[in-house]
Amino acid sequence: MKIDVLTLFPEMFSPVTESSILGRAVGKGILDIRLTDIRDFTNDRHNRADDYPFGGGGGMVMMADPIFGALESVEADRKKIVYMSPRGRLLDSDMIKQMSQLDEFVILCGHYEGVDQRVLDYWEIEEVSIGDYVLTGGELPAMVLIDSVARLIPEVLGNENSAMDESIYSGLLEHPQYTKPREYRGMQVPEVLVSGNHKLIDLWKFREALMLTKKRRPDLFDEFVKKCRNLSKDEGKILEEIIKMEL
């Protein structure tokens, strides 16, 4: 997958794209993350890419011309383009799955008070938000988008099944996890997890995931109940029990 990132601060991405799982994926050629500095396309002798907004107001707005130049340089007219913006569609598991199926896409990172609206209109850019809050720029949200999409690309993770098995992608929040030692400061690992009985372990994980989801994300729990299919008899009993529980 090829991802073009258009930004005023390309140096911000190196610690993320060159480290850990993403760094290994880039090194293997699974991911091709290309950073384009929008300032390289400004005609201003001071490399300014922003100006005061028409109509007044605080802050500065990124100008259309440098962004147009950056988009044209990566041939964005042939690709899906997203703009990281707090007013955009909320990034969720469905969007991430859809984007993981693409061969390439472009991320535009805004800064200051945003970008000239004509950029978004002309290029038919989809605005994407990672939450109902405002950050100083689109770079951090872009990193969130890249990381979440990359995890669903085959071979990026060591275990190809692990991305879809965990948390939101299964429809439930993830069950609690434990590792060595079995006892720490008086706290024990649940006995079932060291029993060696894989059926009981799977049922324990299912029960814990159901309880956590019902308690913390009742919206997800209700959706899971509506859509769940092909549960075993034991899983069905557990689900009925959790539905009746007051958490």
3-state secondary structure of 128: strand
- What distances in angstroms separate CA 14 from CA 48, 70, 156, 211, one per listed residue? 23, 20, 18, 39
134 assigned binding-site residue: yes
133 assigned binding-site residue: yes
31 assigned binding-site residue: no
83 assigned binding-site residue: no
135 assigned binding-site residue: yes
The upper half-sphere exposure of residue 169, i.e. CA atoms within 13 Å in the direction of its Cβ, equals: 14
202 assigned binding-site residue: no
Residues 97, 32, 137, 7: is their CA dihedral positive or negative? Answer: negative
* Token output for 193: 């997890």
* Token output for 42: 């400004």
8 Å CB contact between 62 and 114: yes
**d(C-alpha 63, C-alpha 60), whole Å:** 9
247 assigned binding-site residue: no
Binding-site residues from annotation for S-adenosyl-L-methionine:
110, 130-135
Binding-site residues from annotation:
110, 130-135
